[in-house]
Amino acid sequence: MKNILITTEDQKLMEFFNSTIPKEIMAKHIRRAVYIMSKVAIDKNYEEEGKIYVLPEWIKDGFYWLNEFAEILDPYLDKELE
């Protein structure tokens, strides 16, 4: 059997999802936030005379990794909007 060392950060995450917010609800909020942030960043990026305020790679990377985290929390995308 493999020994697993649980770090303080791991413990805090487990406590957070066990007592603060269900992981499925957190995944839903992350997906909503990612959509909003991406939409605002992309629209704002090209708003004034073609100036770029946020590097496109930052938008893509942030979008990708937050979505990956949401998939770990809850792999089923609930299409119902509340």
Q: Is 16 left (phi over 0), alpha (psi -120 to 50) or beta?
A: alpha
Instruction: Please tell me the distance from the alpha carbon of residue 78 to that of residue 81, in angstroms, as a whole number.
Output: 8
In the chain, domain spans: 22-73
Task: Give the residue among 35, 19, 18 at the shortest CA–CA distance from 77.
Answer: 35
* 18-68: pLDDT as tens digits: 888 888 888 888 888 888 887 777 676 665 666 766 777 887 888 888 888
Q: What is the pLDDT of residue 47?
A: 58
